[in-house]
Chains A and B, each alone.
Chain A
Amino acid sequence: MIWIEPPRPRPVSRFFETRRLLSLILVAALVWSVASVDWTGGIVHSGGGNALKDFFLALFPPDLSPGFLKLALAASWQTVVHAVAGITLALIIGLPLGVLASGSLGNPGRSRLAVAATVRFVLAFMRSIHELVWAVLFVTAFGLSSLVVVLAIAIPYAGILGRIYSELLNDVPQEPLDGLRSSGASPAKVLLYGRLPMALPEMLSYGFYRFECGIRAAAIMSFVGIRGLGYEIQLSLNDLLFSQVWTLLLFLVALVLLVDYWSTRVRRSLGS
């Protein structure tokens, strides 16, 4: 080499320029969209303000009559069962697909990469369709049954779990894996003794997070007409029984908190 190249800070600064430009455009779009909202009419329909007031006032007190509590409990149970079944099925499908997508099984080579790429495509397809859309599709196929909710949750969630799990399995420290390999471990044994134990704490906490999302999703399935917390909320809303709506919402919050508490307990017992 005859001359010494001058330092080239250009690509970096250009990158930042592009980013700044993008941010500017986004901010401008936001300002424009806020400004173009017709604040005088339209957005809150007449009498909507009163309905909102009634809704919040109904929180004191929520409907705690034994009869309604029983109904709320049954609806919560329904929702939890749907979520548990959905997330369990999602795990059963997502974990093996995640392992395949991570490319950590089998000997290095083209076929392994081809399998990983194919599985990644399948996972992307599964999760690119929202659970409600899956639900609508399945209702037309199976009618209004619990199977619809379970499948509608399981398929997109398996896609998400598989994607995240394949990354977690790949992102573990490499030295312990080399240690296992030098002890004669095959890729499958490296997975069992190295990747899985090292990735497990994060896989678990992500699984719990998805379970939480699954409860919300199961509740919302009322929009396609399936019973559960969301269904009861819709009925009460239709009759403007806001104190009942609040009771049901409190049950939903309680469910999410319960899952949160459980996941903290499990993670602590794993001692991460």
Chain B
Amino acid sequence: MSQPPSTNEVGGSGASTPPNGGVRPIVDSRSIGKSFGALTALAPLDFTVGPGERVALAGPSGSGKTTLLYILAGLLQPDRGELFLDSQAVSRLRPGKELSEIVGLIQQQLDLVPQLPVVQNVLAGRLGQWGLLRSLASLVSAREREMAYNALSRLGIADKIDERTSRLSGGEQQRVAIARLMLQAPQIILADEPVSSLDPARADEILALLTDLVEDSKGAVIASLHDPELIKKYFSRVIGLREGVLQFDIPPQQLTAPVLAALYGFDRDFPNNSAL
């Protein structure tokens, strides 16, 4: 196990056998890449994620984590390669209902509409299923309010249901975003730095909730975060990105200090890496 991790350890084209014994991957990235002008935000990237996997994305600022998650969420088109979610090409899935049943994204407290009451932000998880008229009617008088209430009470903030969202604390807002995701109930949950602005206890809770959702639905979770302890506690696999290039794809136990130092680029100043 001490051998250094190699690039593209898991993955490859769809022809190769999926990592966990014949089960079809629910995420299959075939050389997807993205550039912004001259800048290559993501080099062609090959990896697969199977059902039940909890994947952490690590890497320094600007390494392409958000870009990758946005592509996986179908919010950004890759310039090259093809992405398969649940064995379907994303380019051929209809945005809206079809895509939202497969994949959902939560961002660091930024994905809520601050001016809306909590209940409306939670019910937004149903927008992929609702027609336009129903969506409009629900803004006037909330439809399926019990669903929102149930999700919020599972998260312990049912009393906030009619509060204006901007009045909630950061941790509470993060729960509202999770409640929205519970109503959307996608197979694949993507989370962009879901805990970076939370205190350690709150971060622990939120990750427990997020990874729990996956066990419920036999889906997968892919989340970007930096804390190696949290990665080890809640994830089954960690992918390292640097300047848009995949550095490693390993089980969290192999996330040692030298590996982290190489990824984040503080190798020269890192005190414990004389072994490298």
State A197–B105 Cα separation when bound (angstroms): 21
Complex contact A184–B128 (CB within 8 A): yes
Complex contact A193–B107 (CB within 8 A): no
**CB-nearest residue of chain A to B75:** A178
Is A159 among interface residues, defined by CB-CB distance under 8 A?
Answer: no
CB-CB under 8 A from A185, the residues of chain B are: 96, 124, 127-128, 135
Interface residues on B, range: 35 or more
Across the interface, B164 reaches (CB within 8 A) one of A176, A201, A271, namely A271
Chain B's nearest CB lies how many Å from the CB of A271? 7
A184-204 with Cβ < 8 A to chain B: 184-186, 188-189, 192-194, 197-198, 200-201
State A185–B107 Cα separation when bound (angstroms): 16
Is B120 among interface residues, defined by CB-CB distance under 8 A?
Answer: yes
Is B112 among interface residues, defined by CB-CB distance under 8 A?
Answer: yes
Complex contact B164–A184 (CB within 8 A): no
Is B261 among interface residues, defined by CB-CB distance under 8 A?
Answer: no
Complex contact B100–A184 (CB within 8 A): yes
CB-CB under 8 A from B139, the residues of chain A are: 192-193
Is B99 among interface residues, defined by CB-CB distance under 8 A?
Answer: yes
**CB-nearest residue of chain B to A186:** B96
Complex contact B110–A181 (CB within 8 A): no
CB-CB under 8 A from B74, the residues of chain A are: 182
Complex contact B111–A192 (CB within 8 A): no
Complex contact A179–B127 (CB within 8 A): no
Complex contact B124–A173 (CB within 8 A): no
Interface residues on A, range: 20 to 34
Across the interface, A184 reaches (CB within 8 A) one of B99, B107, B111, B113, namely B99
Is A40 among interface residues, defined by CB-CB distance under 8 A?
Answer: no
CB-CB under 8 A from B132, the residues of chain A are: 186, 188-189
**CB-nearest residue of chain B to A179:** B111
CB-CB under 8 A from A173, the residues of chain B are: 110
Complex contact A193–B95 (CB within 8 A): no
State A188–B139 Cα separation when bound (angstroms): 13
**Given contacts A185-B128, A186-B132, A193-B116, is CB(A178)–CB(B105) below 8 Å?**
yes
Chain A's nearest CB lies how many Å from the CB of B200? 24
Is A175 among interface residues, defined by CB-CB distance under 8 A?
Answer: yes
Complex contact B97–A184 (CB within 8 A): yes
**CB-nearest residue of chain A to B128:** A184
Is A183 among interface residues, defined by CB-CB distance under 8 A?
Answer: yes
CB-CB under 8 A from B120, the residues of chain A are: 193
Is B220 among interface residues, defined by CB-CB distance under 8 A?
Answer: no
CB-CB under 8 A from A188, the residues of chain B are: 132
**CB-nearest residue of chain B to A197:** B115
Chain B's nearest CB lies how many Å from the CB of A174? 9
Is B119 among interface residues, defined by CB-CB distance under 8 A?
Answer: no
CB-CB under 8 A from B105, the residues of chain A are: 178-179, 182
Binding site for B on A (CB under 8 A): 173, 175-176, 178-186, 188-189, 192-194, 197-198, 200-201, 271
Sample 14 A-B pairs with CB under 8 A, ordered by A number: A176-B112, A178-B75, A182-B73, A182-B100, A182-B104, A183-B184, A184-B96, A184-B99, A184-B129, A185-B96, A188-B132, A193-B120, A193-B124, A197-B115
Besides the known contacts A175-B107, A180-B113, A201-B115, 4 further A-B residue pairs in the complex with CB atoms under 8 A apart: A183-B100, A184-B129, A185-B127, A192-B136
Binding site for A on B (CB under 8 A): 70, 73-75, 95-97, 99-101, 103-107, 110-116, 120, 124-130, 132, 135-136, 139, 164, 177, 180, 184, 190
